[in-house]
Structure 1
Amino acid sequence: MDSGSARAANIAASPFAEQTCLVAQELDAAVERFSTFLQFRTVSSPLVPHHTVEPDEFRRLHDWMPTAFPEVWETLEVEEVGDGNLSYLLKWVGTVELEQQREEAAAAAPLLPVLFLSHLDVVPVANETLSNWTHPPFSGAVAGGYVWGRGALDDKVGVAGLLEAATLLIRTGWRPARTLYFAFGQDEEVGGEKGAAQISALLAARGVKVDMVFDEGGSIGSDGYPPYSTRPLALVGLAEKGFATILVQVSAAGGHSSIPPLDGSSAAAVAARIITAIDRRPPPTRLAAPVTQFLSAIADSTPGLRGQLFSVVGSPLAPDWLRDLVAGAFLGRDTPETAALVRNTAAVTGLTSGFAENVLPPSATVRVNFRLLPGATAQDLFAYLTDVAGPDLPHVRFEMSGGQNASMATPVTSASSPYFAKLKAAVQQVYTLKDGSGSVDVAPTLMAGGTDSKHYLPISAGGALRHVPVSLNKTAGDMRRVHGLNERVSVADFGRGVCVFQRLIQLVGGSA
């Protein structure tokens, strides 16, 4: 199916009006470029040099980029950076900086640049799942109103959207007053140490300080935010939860498998009790910013008692006991997604024990991954595991995986920032509802996962805002497509995403 037919097939399924910044021919050409982009197998892994499984695929991508976006490569300063020069740093010099360089405005206060982020890499596709894909994961197929392929949502759509938006603006003769940077890393999916971390260090060495960082993050729920609001909702991450993996090391006497112990002291039995306790007794709930701001934002569209309570607990005057009640009795129990907003999540991601079928193993290791709320510490995690171990505590010890320290949650960016207002305006100007009832709602939130933005916070004066302007239908299971089977983005949403980025660049960059 060609992109024009695909576009028509998708219109009826969406609650949003069509975008207006791209004519049909421009959208078709952009979709064709995006399809090609998805065909590059830019998979990252922490176990290989440069964190790139196939470095030649990244190099082929680098050869293709200037041919796909010639106006951007001719207008912006483009550097190949990162480990192995497999990432990108682009600089769109603002007219204010040019004037200051000419000493025409030497007395003027500096206008700090703004940084836009996305990443080139994708997660791998398991060979055993290939037959379950509707279209091959690196085909970039355009069919049924969608563009299919690994990275269609996470996050080649961000790279393509930003470059398409910049291209449209260049063609109109627009230039930013403020200098804009674009950084596209090579290994965000495995932590960003070879890409984003090195780019941030490079900018810091050059004395660059930015006013705000925009990165991938919350998407747009076309079905609202189940189980609360059904009105379409765009989420903007103001902070990211922290990350820590702790190994629970179990010690036991071992022995011959023909004479197992009667007291439940085997390594397997102790490990099983700890895993069961983690599953049945998750960490305690706590309600804090930016989740309080999220609840306040969706209160009016959430029916019943929950909506009333969300409105109250979103106020700074709300009593602690009421916040505790809402966190524990509602968010902590409603869905896994809402529970992750109010607790340090604990997930068992590994269990190893045993080396022979006739030997009781003398040890076992339970790997527990935690995502930390703002304000939580590693000590909170060890205290939780100590409580979980209970009477088995003499048989276990805890250690950080790989000897690494826990990564704390990022600071919470202010929802009162003028940049939040600009992002909200850009999203709402594009994502209007075709039933005429207005625009998508926009709410701040807490990100459960990590992004490259964390590496740039030391050089950002205003923090980071995390949003990807495409829609997902949670009720239909679209969230499972991210890193999962049949990753795809609708043709219509790809166009809307380009329009959001175009408007955001205009609002943030100012007019020359």
Structure 2
Amino acid sequence: MAEKQQLPDINSPLQGSERYRGSTAPPQTSTFKRRLITGLCIFSLCIPTHWVSERYDISLPQIPTPWSHQPSPSSLCRQVPPLFPAVKSKELEEMDAHIASEAFRNASIQRLGGAVRIPTQSFDDMGPIGEDKRWDIFYQFAEFLETEFPRVHAVLGKEVVNEHGLVFTWRGRDGGLKPLVLMAHQDVVPVPGETVDSWTFPPFSGAFDGRHVWGRGSSDCKNSLVGILEAVEELVRAGFVPRRTVVLSFGFDEEISGREGAGRLAPFLLERYGKDGVVAIVDEGANMNTLFGTHFATPGVAEKGYVDIEVIVRMPGGHSSIPPDHNGIGVMSELITHVESNLYSPHLDAQNPYLGLLQCGAAHSPSFPSKLRKLLSKHHSSKSSAATCSQGGKRKDEKDDLALEAAKASPGIKYLMTTSVAVDVINGGVKTNALPERTRAIINHRINIGSHPSDAKQHITSLASTIAKKYNLTLHAFPANASQGETPSSITLRAESTELDTAPVTPTLVDGADGVLGLTPYGILSGTTRALYGEEIVVAPGIMTGNTDTRYYWDLTRHIFRYMPGWDPEEEGLGNM
């Protein structure tokens, strides 16, 4: 459970002479964070030189659906050539040399370690800001950032939203261009005291063992936050001024749904820039993975939906010496078993980014499985049927052979195209000799692309009705208000307030309106990635199984990327899919 951040070594790609090849061990004199910082520097530099307008119109499906005309596989996953900054200066060359230095490496390690050592934990039961003292740790973290990044604070300035949300605005030379937003969050998942002894290093030590920085937040996501600030600090030091305004937006409660942080920051930015007033957003997310023998970069362009469904079983109490055949806990157990016996099957909606990833695998991976290739060529997605079905254009009773085959790779892959169901909370009963009168469970659902939280509600209503009928209980399925339901001898279903639809899918076309390859937000990100990591990297659309703070930013732009620069093959895992 020890959280760590890999620090492999690279040469700075701003030199333009050396690029890290994924199959070659990187040199031992650089760091993961240097790659992160350099990537952000390149991205910032590429934006004003290549991404000069927003005049293009992306009106086609985000992920091409090729089945009508059967184009060649390579045309379904066109790769943008590497994009390098056109901006050159002596100061930027000096910045490049500084980033590649041992001194910068050591300072960067210390900065990340220092950030980890401030335990910015966010707890599920946090009280109001100003009343709950656990929020106060974020004052210390803000002071740390101000000390470590003086140029950012002096040149960009800092705006504070809801006491701990941070906004930095780097004014661009062209005020007519929409700004770019870079996001991260300051908070980390709490560490239960009883688990501290099981950590390789103490969870808030920020220890560096010569290869890794250890501790909570080192990879989620203080590495990103510190990396963004280091990139901007170095660019400001070099005298660089972006053509396009760059906004840094840092929430502080992402790990507990982000209501106080991103939930306030997004409206703040929306009021300033307006609907669709931002060119693109980059937040934490996926990065690199090796699939089908090929190295892929998979920026997240979608997120699954979310709904927690509360289930309450009310049954008569009494003394445990005279029990009924089935009390409330027993009935709840049977209902849970019924739910787990009727899970969702994998389905690939036409807009699911994993379909795009499979297309890229077929186009660029010689070892792409022949069975998947055959099923992919037969896979049809009908928009007309998608309007009437909840599972990606296929009838509810029709299995999706492509999705079923792809899901065999791993549970992590399976749930990129499947609504997940997990019973995470259960309680009932207060005394060993008293029958439980109220038993409660919460069932978490992560909603598949092409489906909706209402589908999960309908599904569990059907399952609960079977149990209610069997035990002569009244079913209250999602009553209009909280005062309804919970009558004696009943089952009540309620949706928690965290309900969230699936995210709008970011367009992944690479051709601009004028036909120039790469002149789209996704194209710019793709070309920048391949400049940084090498042309053998295939950029393909990715999807997140979890949710990020971007859930609050949908109105600001169509172009949201959940993407973490930086890659070490030894660190691949679920977060990289």
TM-score (norm 1): 0.79
Aligned partners of 1:296 and 1:313 also within 8 Å: no
Consecutive unaligned residues in structure 1, runs of 5 or more: 1-5, 98-109, 433-437, 482-512
**SS where residue 183 of structure 1 aligns?**
strand
**SS where residue 143 of structure 1 aligns?**
coil
Match of 1:465 in 2: 561
Match of 1:245 in 2: 308
How far the C-alpha of 1:346 sits from its partner, in A, is: 1.0
Q: Does residue 418 of structure 2 align to residue 330 of structure 1?
A: no
Aligned partners of 1:42 and 1:53 also within 8 Å: no
Deviation per CA, 1:408-445: give whole Å up to 9, x if none: 1111011116111222222222224xxxxx53332212
How far the C-alpha of 1:77 sits from its partner, in A, is: 2.9
Match of 2:280 in 1: 212
Equivalent-residue separation in structure 2 for 1:420 and 1:13 (angstroms) = 22
How far the C-alpha of 1:92 sits from its partner, in A, is: 0.7
How far the C-alpha of 1:206 sits from its partner, in A, is: 2.5
Aligned partners of 2:184 and 2:251 also within 8 Å: yes
Residue type of the alignment partner of 1:324: D
Match of 1:406 among 478, 493, 499: 499
Deviation per CA, 1:382-406: give whole Å up to 9, x if none: 2211333363133354446575272
Q: Which structure 2 residues correspond to residues 40-439 of structure 1 after superposition, within 5 A?
A: 40-46=118-124, 47-50=126-129, 54-79=134-159, 81-84=160-163, 86-97=164-175, 110-208=176-274, 209-221=277-289, 224-225=290-291, 229-262=292-325, 265-288=326-349, 289=351, 290-299=353-362, 300-301=364-365, 302-309=367-374, 311-312=376-377, 324-327=400-403, 329-389=404-464, 391-394=466-469, 395=473, 396-399=475-478, 404=497, 406-416=499-509, 418-432=520-534, 438-439=535-536
How far the C-alpha of 1:57 sits from its partner, in A, is: 2.2
Aligned partners of 1:44 and 1:53 also within 8 Å: no
Residue type of the alignment partner of 1:90: F
Equivalent-residue separation in structure 2 for 1:332 and 1:128 (angstroms) = 36
Aligned partners of 2:417 and 2:449 also within 8 Å: no
**SS where residue 385 of structure 1 aligns?**
helix
Residue type of the alignment partner of 1:465: F
Consecutive unaligned residues in structure 2, runs of 5 or more: 1-6, 11-19, 28-34, 39-95, 384-392, 479-492, 511-519
Residue type of the alignment partner of 1:43: Q
Equivalent-residue separation in structure 1 for 2:133 and 2:168 (angstroms) = 24
Equivalent-residue separation in structure 2 for 1:467 and 1:237 (angstroms) = 6
Instruction: Report the RMSD for the aligned CA atoms in angstroms.
Output: 3.1
Aligned partners of 1:8 and 1:145 also within 8 Å: no
How far the C-alpha of 1:353 sits from its partner, in A, is: 1.2
Distance 1:16 1:70, change over 3 A: farther
Match of 2:84 in 1: none
Aligned partners of 2:301 and 2:561 also within 8 Å: yes
Deviation per CA, 1:50-81: give whole Å up to 9, x if none: 398633321122122122112222221321x2
Equivalent-residue separation in structure 1 for 2:575 and 2:177 (angstroms) = 41
How far the C-alpha of 1:480 sits from its partner, in A, is: 8.7
How far the C-alpha of 1:479 sits from its partner, in A, is: 4.7
Aligned partners of 2:158 and 2:168 also within 8 Å: yes
Deviation per CA, 1:473-511: give whole Å up to 9, x if none: 68x785599xxxxxxxxxxxxxxxxxxxxxxxxxxxxxx
Residue type of the alignment partner of 1:94: G
Distance 1:163 1:234, change over 3 A: same
Distance 1:282 1:350, change over 3 A: same
Q: Matched residue pairs, number?
A: 446
Aligned partners of 1:82 and 1:185 also within 8 Å: no
Distance 1:266 1:313, change over 3 A: farther
**SS where residue 368 of structure 1 aligns?**
strand
Match of 1:485 in 2: none
Equivalent-residue separation in structure 2 for 1:305 and 1:397 (angstroms) = 49
Deviation per CA, 1:207-262: give whole Å up to 9, x if none: 442111111111222xx14xxx2433222111111111111222334433223334
How far the C-alpha of 1:49 sits from its partner, in A, is: 2.6
Residue type of the alignment partner of 1:119: H
Aligned partners of 1:248 and 1:397 also within 8 Å: no
Distance 1:15 1:255, change over 3 A: farther
Deviation per CA, 1:337-362: give whole Å up to 9, x if none: 12211222111011111122122223
Higher helix share: 1
Equivalent-residue separation in structure 2 for 1:468 and 1:240 (angstroms) = 15
Report the identity percentage. 28
Equivalent-residue separation in structure 1 for 2:22 and 2:566 (angstroms) = 14
How far the C-alpha of 1:333 sits from its partner, in A, is: 4.5
Deviation per CA, 1:109-139: give whole Å up to 9, x if none: x311111111111110111211111111111
Residue type of the alignment partner of 1:179: T
**SS where residue 214 of structure 1 aligns?**
strand
Match of 1:447 in 2: 544
Aligned partners of 2:297 and 2:539 also within 8 Å: yes
How far the C-alpha of 1:14 sits from its partner, in A, is: 8.3
Q: Does residue 534 of structure 2 align to residue 456 of structure 1?
A: no
Distance 1:54 1:286, change over 3 A: same
